[in-house]
Amino acid sequence: MAESIRVLIPEKDVAARIEEMGRQISEDYEGKQVHLICVLKGGVFFMCELAKKINVPVSLDFMSVSSYGDGTASNGVVRIVKDLDESLEGKDVLVVEDIIDSGRTLSYLLEILEKRKPKSMRLCTLLDKPDRRVRDVKVDYVGFEIPDEFVVGYGLDYAQKYRNLPYIGIVDGIE
């Protein structure tokens, strides 16, 4: 059976929630500059939209940390694929993720980043899947809490497909 996608969170709801999150982050960082760290590849769609909704000065950097292959579940092996270009020392850092699932990747990433001496560090995710959590991570900004379903769209993929969907969808028909 070929996979199919059904809408979980419509495009208008995603856009409205990102706008709300941008307002909250702007309030929380008032009078400061926030350094956004995008966790690639999936986080780039979310971070770009979020950055446009933040009203304080923003700087950007990108990191790729992986614990997935082409499958639908974390394999537990975490590796840095691309490291940051800039130092974090003394910066107010906001790590931006597309989804937090098991927490393995983020737990590892936050440990590494904390050693780089940021002034502060918070975590922001578009989607949170707490039922799958095996490592505890404190999430400061959550777009949507979702059920334990395999989702795509808005940067999230299945074997590099469906990232460009403007909504969050559930993939049916995969093994």
pLDDT for res 106: 85
Arch. (CATH architecture) of 11-148: 3-Layer(aba) Sandwich (3.40)
pLDDT for res 15: 97
Catalytic residue (one of 101, 140, 148, 157): 101
Is the pTM here over 0.95, yes or no? no
101 has catalytic annotation: yes
Residues 31-63 have pLDDT tens digits of 999 999 998 888 999 999 999 999 999 999 999
pLDDT for res 136: 87
Which uninterrupted H or E stretch holds 23? helix 11-28
pLDDT for res 97: 94
Mean pLDDT of the chain, nearest integer = 91
What percent of the chain stands above pLDDT 90?
Answer: 70
Type of residue numbered 160: Q
Whether the pLDDT of residue 68 is over 70: the answer is no
Task: Give the residue from 156, 155, 151, 154 showing the smallest Cα distance to 174.
Answer: 151
pLDDT for res 77: 64
To which residue do tokens 């590494």 refer? 112
Q: Which sequence spans correspond to the domains of the chain?
A: 11-148
Task: Give the residue from 148, 147, 165 showing the smallest Cα distance to 156.
Answer: 165
Residues 88-131 have pLDDT tens digits of 999 999 999 999 988 888 888 899 999 999 999 999 999 999 98
